[in-house]
Chains A and B, each alone.
Chain A
């Protein structure tokens, strides 16, 4: 997990509320990825961001989910009007600034979202 910081670690939301998950990448890393792990499943790619740019959001649900990585500050994964099916672990990962070669990505400890 090498320094990728996620918060909160645990978050409980009622159905219909908003969830905001934050991720600060490792020092020197400018690429951020969000993955979701549903219970009893592997990780599924959601979105790939660079500063102020969404590079690939092919894994993001079409509605209620959004992600940003502003020029200053952490990356934010935002889930609006949460439903029970959003309950999962959300992992952020980061990598150095290169896409021309395969990158090793480093994961944070995860944010566990529970929707009640």
Chain B
């Protein structure tokens, strides 16, 4: 079955510390991978996406993610977290010929300590 797993429901990091949010997927076809961020009461904003090519992708707000096919993972990283990064982060997977039909993980809530 196709699925996306975000193992960490809630993570707390100190401002200025590095961050890694985990995402594992199970998908029969070639996956196309996304990370979205959602602030409370708001919609989803695309951080970055991987379709093909270089497995390390850069996104907005200083985020990056690395696609590792052998581990079925697409972890999101940021070298130095800012208080404004506190939000919910969603990993999602799509496929060729599926248009915008995505499967989302359950999300990881990020809290940032001063």
Query: Which A positions have Cβ atoms within 8 angstroms of B?
Result: 1, 4, 31, 33, 35, 41-45, 48, 55-56, 91, 93-95, 98-110, 112
Contact = CB atoms under 8 A, between A and B. Distances in A.
B22 to A, nearest CB: 14
Contacts of A31: 99-100
Contacts, number: 74
B95 interface: yes
A95 B100 contact: yes
A33 B41 CA distance: 19
Contacts of A98: 99
A90 to B, nearest CB: 11
Contact of A45 (B44, B45, B95, B103): B103
Contacts of B90: 42-43
A56 B101 contact: yes
Contacts of A91: 43-44
Nearest to B6: A42
Contact of B49 (A4, A104, A110): A104
Contacts of B97: 99-100
16 contacts: A31-B99, A42-B90, A42-B107, A48-B99, A55-B99, A93-B100, A95-B99, A99-B97, A101-B51, A101-B96, A102-B32, A102-B94, A104-B46, A105-B99, A106-B46, A107-B45
B43 A48 contact: no
Given A43-B90, A102-B94, A1 B101 contact: no
B102 interface: yes
Interface string B38-75: 00011111100101000000000000000000000000
B102 A105 contact: yes
B42 A110 contact: yes
B106 interface: yes
